[in-house]
Structure formats: C-alpha cells, structure tokens
Chains A and B, each alone.
Chain A
Amino acid sequence: MVIKPMDTAYVSNSASNAAMAFIRKNLFGIVILAPAALYLIGFLLIILYKVLELSFTFDGPDGTLFPTAIHFIELSKRSEFREAFTRTLWFTLIGTPLELFVGMVAAFLISKEFKGRGLIRSLFVLPLAIPTIVTAITLYIVFDFPGGHVNDLLMGHHAFFPFQIISYPVDWRGSEFFALIVSIFGKVWRDMPISMLIILAGLQAIPEDQYEAAKTLGAGAFQTFLKITLPLLTPAMSTVLVLRSIEVWKEFIFPFILAGSYPLLATLIERAYHEWRNPNEACAISLVLLGLIIFSTVFIFKTLKWLRHRLVRI
C-alpha cells in the first residue's frame, strides 16, 4: 500500500511527459489548427450546446424541467409551425432539383469551346457578385403590388410586349403560391453560378476518351449522356445537391423579404424569437431544421449511389 501513491505519481508523470513529447513533436500542426479549433468551439459547439439546452429545458412556475420534449409538443400543436414545415418541404423539394437543373444547363452551355464563351461565363457568374439582400430587394420592387414592373409588363403597359395577359395587377407577395415561387426564383438565380461551376468542373474532369470509347462502341448522343456523362457526373451532382439542399433548407433572406406573411422554418425561428418571445421554441425549430438537413443529406447520397449503379447495370 505504500507503493501505490508512488506508482500513480510515476504513471501520471510519464503520461504528462508523453503529452509534452506529443506537443513538441506536433507543435507546428497544433499552432496551425488552433484558430480553426477555437472557431469551431466558439461558434459551433458552444452554440449547439446552448441550442440543445434551451430546446429541452422548460422554466415553469413550479421550477425547471430538464430534459423535456414539451417545446416540440407545443410546436407541433401550432398551425404556424405545421404550415411552415410544409412550405419548407415544398420549397426544398422544388428549389434543390431546380438549382441542380439550372446549374447543369448553364454548365453544358459553356462546357464546349465556342466564340464568346468567356463573356457568357462571366455573365453567368454575375449573380454571385450582387449582395443577396440587393437581389431580394430588387425582386421585391419588380414584383411589387399594385405598381410593380411585372404587373406593368403583363398588363401590356410596355410597347415591346404588347400583350395583355392579366387585366388586374396581381398581389404577388400576398399570395402564398406566388410569394414562394418568387423566393425560389430569387434563390435559384442567385445560387446558379455555384452549381454551374461545380458541374462544369465535374464535366471537364471526364476525359475525352470516355466519349470516344462510347461512340466507337455504338452509343449515340443520348445514350452517351445517360450511360457515361450522367454516372460520371454523379459525384459533382451529389456535391451540388448536398450543398444546395442545405442552403435551401435554411434559406432566410428571400422568404424573409418576399414571403413575409408565409414563413418557412428558417424565418419562423426569427418570428418565434422576436414575436412569440420564446427562445426555447426558436431553438427547437432550429433543431428540427438540423434534423431535416441531416436526413436529406444522407438520403441524397444514398439515392445517387443507387442511381449510378442503376444506370449502368447490364
């Protein structure tokens, strides 16, 4: 029994020696990684911890309850939450494939060498250069009611478009359908360059001999696209879908400006915090959103893997 304290002292001493040796050996790496680690701890881990804590804590008149699902239950009873949930689902289901599709079309347009390609490519990247809030406000003005530009145009007020499509101005932002469509339009327009560049990089990584081999083996343009281009593009496509779907799930600015009366989950967080004065439920909504994002990411990865195999199976 006398030996034991000495023993532990020896062990802890050797452990601290090993730690010191590790630090000395990897000092450069530690110094380089420290800012990133501090950033993650400060802006991710602590916040996530607080969000989890708030979401599952209930401060009632009879004391504090933890853990409790009461906020989630309360939320599920709110029609505002259920509507926002459905809207977000539609917003993402339409917006994400649309981002991929528009990016692909743009990428295919400029993937082949042609005169003026540089100019077209620069034009396509332009939306990234405009601050999102400016884009959103511009759309706000363009789709204004009753005097917005789109209304003017569709009512035949302009000489270059002499067709009267509608007789009365449409209150775009006052209609749930149009408000969300315009938000999706803004989101897709603004993000198109990112999708396009990722797809373009993917396209250009496919060696020319793949197409030539397919041609000599009897494949036409459509078959080549289906069996070669598309499967070889799936890594780029899954990158686009995952990155973009995360962005679309948590999209805030466009719906906040353009669909103020029809909140999505992301804008509902703001409303819960400021209007309901209920930080716990705001945190609960953000956790629901996080869950959705994780689920959809896994789903997209799995689906694309399956698709890739399905396309080439004998």
Chain B
Amino acid sequence: MAQVRLEKVTKKYPKTEAVSDLDLIVEDSEFMTLVGPSGCGKSTTLRMIAGLEEITSGSLYIDNILANEIPPKDRSISMVFQSYALFPHMTVSENIGFGLKIKKKTREYILDRVRWAIDLFNLEGLEYRIPRDLSGGERQRVALARALVVEPKVLLLDEPLSNLDARLRLKMRAELKRIHKQLGATIIYVTHDQVEAMSLSDRVAVMNDGRLVQVGKPLDVYNRPESKFVGGFIGSPSMNFLDGTIIGRSNAVFFVTKDLELEFPKESFSNNFGTIDQEVVLGLRPEHINDQGSTKAKTTGTTTAIDVVVDVVEPLGDRDIVTVTRGETVLTLLFSPESGAVPDRPMKVVFDMSKCHLFDKKTGVRILKN
C-alpha cells in the first residue's frame, strides 16, 4: 500500500479543461473519497491516477515514484468500474484470477488467491458462473475481488455502488468499510453521492468545476464548509441559504433579510465579522432550525421564535422533512414526527444561530472564522 500524491495536476481537452491545478495527498492506508456533482472532474482525476487518461501537466506520485509516464499495467493500481467491466466470457473464478494469470503466477498460487478472495467476498458456490448469471450485488463483489486479489498499492473505485438498489448499496457500503479495515488498503473512491462520501471515508475531497474546493474529515467538512458550494453539496436535505445583510444595532448583531430578522448570539460571534453592513449569504442546516416546542429548541439559548407557514410535510418515519415559507423565503427543516407540523398551518420555529455559516455573497467563500 502506498501514498498517492498529485501536484498541480491538470487535464485539458481540446475544448475544455476538466481538471485544473489539483493538489492532493492521499496517505498510505487512507480511504479518500472524491466527491462532487457530475462533470466536476472527479472521474477524470481517478482515471489519470489509473493511467487511463494522460496528465496534461503536473505530477502524479504513487509510492513516491513519478508515475506520469508509467503505463497503467505497471502502476500497481487496480480499478473497479461503475459498469464493473467484468469479462463476460470468463467465469467468476477466471475473472478474479485474471490479473494474476496476466502476471504469470503459478497455477497453485492463483487458485489459492482466488479461494481467498471468494471467501472474503462470500462468493462461495458462484465460482463457475459467468457474469451474465449474477445479480448486481454479486457482480459488484466479483469486481472488487478481481481488483483486490492482485494486491494493488492503490485501489481505485469509480462510483462502484451507483448501479445497485438502495438496500444493496447500504450493505455494500458496510462491506467496503469492512474490507478497508481488514486490508488497510489505500483506497481512492469517486462518488457523486455525498452520503456515501460521508459514511465511508477517512477524508473527503470535494471537487467542483475541475477544482478541489475542500479536503478534510467528513465531519469537519460537514461542520465547517469553506464555501457555499460545499455547504450546499454536503448534507441531505441540503443547507438552507438566505441572502441578507449584517446589521449592528444597540449592542447586538443581526442578520436581516426582507422576510426575517435574526440575532447572532454575542459570545461566539463578537470578533468574527469582517464588516457590519456587508451583504452575505447565511447558511443553516435543516436540523438547526427547530420547532418551538422541541427539546432541541430549548437548549439552543435563542428565545425569539419566528412565525412560518408549513407548506409540505414528507414523513420519513424517524423524522419529517418539512418545507415552510415566510413571505418569499422557503426553508427546508428536519423535525421529529412529534412536531405536529400540518400543511398550510402556521407554526413557530427557532433558529440555532450558533450553528450558522456565513458566506461572501459574490465569491461564496466562508466569512465566519469560528
């Protein structure tokens, strides 16, 4: 297993620049996830690490060896594709053993390793099936087994779970985590699903528009997004954004929009603002706006309740996603089912302003320095 280091890596196509000046270090045995919306360059980055795409400029180091010009077959990586790319003319065993056979290992060794992989991924009884006769989850496990059996320095996973149904995806997520713990492999994982990114990774790298926008532990990225984009992308349901102005008034600081006036708690925010009267975007996650009666609302310390009108209630069982309006402002909230939110009825909600994020209106960069 090994470290992967990207320095100023850029990928240009004739008409577009897919990846720009990417700097990223994936540590030995780390589970790193590249996450971002479609077309953000995350798959291209992975394919450059694999050697399936040329690097236009910049350097890629695998295990401290410059790998730009090393052909994929000699990079000691292996990759799992979104489509799995199992070889349709080979049985499960032959698929798994392919990489070892190519490397001219002895028959005994290959059979031994294939046995090991079949045990690891619970594929007993499927050894002689061909991919066509496997279910989606089984194909997925074969693809993983095929990639791992060659003992790669780095395992690259390109949206491996996106073709599975929801239940299977949860199961495979746990499976992946188990495999990572068991083998201590360096894994680079690409997904557009931020839930997968959060739940699986040691660290996540959020990409947008060919650029790396934030790298960090999942919870750090969640709790302290460096930009409006990251705040909106990580977390489900998405963060609420409000355009407004910061106003100082009678020894207190307020965030004011056309429909709302919210007071910042003094103690934590006293020295954090650049400017009063600045136009900003305030971000607040759905779980940080609570209905007045809830225990969560009581512990926030804020007392001013805001009147809103409930628009839509989506019950999920353990909680409700509630859309409320106040004037032209639309907010998405997460309530416990006991909140009693009923469509078209007014209710009072409490904003936990100690959890809010402030972003520059023009650049989207984080302002609050807490």
Contact = CB atoms under 8 A, between A and B. Distances in A.
A and B associate in one complex: yes
Interface of A: 207, 209-210, 212-220, 223, 227-228, 231-232, 234, 308, 312-314
B204 to A, nearest CB: 23
Contacts, number: 78
Contact of A212 (B81, B93, B110): B81
A209 B83 contact: yes
Nearest to A311: B89
Contacts of B98: 214, 217, 219, 227
A215 B52 contact: yes
A312 B87 contact: yes
Given A218-B102, A312-B89, A212 B73 contact: no
A213 to B, nearest CB: 4
Contacts of B85: 207, 209-210, 212-213
A207 B82 CA distance: 13
B78 interface: yes
Given A218-B99, A219-B73, A314-B94, A232 B79 contact: no
Interface string B332-366: 00000000000000000000000000000000000
A212 B89 contact: no
A217 B97 contact: no
A232 B88 CA distance: 8
Contacts of A218: 73-74, 99, 102-103, 150
A313 B89 CA distance: 10
Interface in B67-106: 71-75, 77-79, 81, 83, 85-90, 93-94, 97-99, 101-103
Contact of B52 (A212, A220, A228): A212
A217 B78 contact: yes
Contacts of A210: 85, 87
Given A231-B89, A314-B93, A216 B107 contact: no
Per CB-CB distance, the 3 closest pairs between chain A and chain B, nearest first, are A217-B99, A209-B85, A213-B85
B111 interface: yes
Given A216-B78, A216-B79, A314 B101 contact: yes
B71 to A, nearest CB: 8
Indicate the size class of the contact surface on chain B: 35 or more
A308 B88 CA distance: 11
A216 B73 CA distance: 5
A231 B147 CA distance: 21
Nearest to A308: B89
B50 interface: yes
Contacts of B103: 218
B107 A314 contact: yes
Contacts of B156: 216
B144 interface: no
9 contacts: A209-B85, A212-B85, A215-B52, A216-B75, A216-B147, A217-B98, A217-B150, A227-B98, A232-B89
Contacts of B118: none
Nearest to A210: B85
Interface string B224-244: 000000000000000000000
Nearest to B98: A217
Nearest to B50: A216
Nearest to B96: A314
A31 B98 CA distance: 52
Contacts of A215: 51-52, 71-73
B90 A312 contact: yes
B333 to A, nearest CB: 43
B114 interface: yes
B203 interface: no
Central interface residue in B97, B98, B103, B110, by most chain A CB within 10 Å:
B98
A234 B88 CA distance: 12
B153 interface: no
B146 interface: yes
A202 to B, nearest CB: 13
A207 to B, nearest CB: 7
Among B73, B78, B86: residue with most chain A CB under 10 A: B73
A268 B81 CA distance: 58
Interface in B131-179: 146-147, 150, 156
Contacts of B146: 217
Interface string B254-281: 0000000000000000000000000000
Given A209-B81, A314-B94, A216 B87 contact: no
Contacts of B150: 217-218
B76 to A, nearest CB: 9
A149 B359 CA distance: 84
B142 to A, nearest CB: 12
A228 B81 contact: no
B276 to A, nearest CB: 56
Given A217-B99, A218-B150, A314-B111, 6 more contacts: A207-B85, A212-B79, A214-B102, A216-B79, A312-B89, A314-B93
Given A212-B81, A215-B51, A312-B87, A223 B110 contact: no
A23 to B, nearest CB: 39
Contacts of B52: 212, 215-216
A214 B94 CA distance: 13
Contacts of B78: 216-217
Nearest to B72: A215
Nearest to B99: A217
Interface in B31-89: 50-52, 71-75, 77-79, 81, 83, 85-89
A227 B90 CA distance: 10
Contacts of B88: 232
Nearest to B111: A314
A212 B53 CA distance: 10
A212 B71 CA distance: 12
Given A216-B79, A218-B103, A314 B114 contact: yes
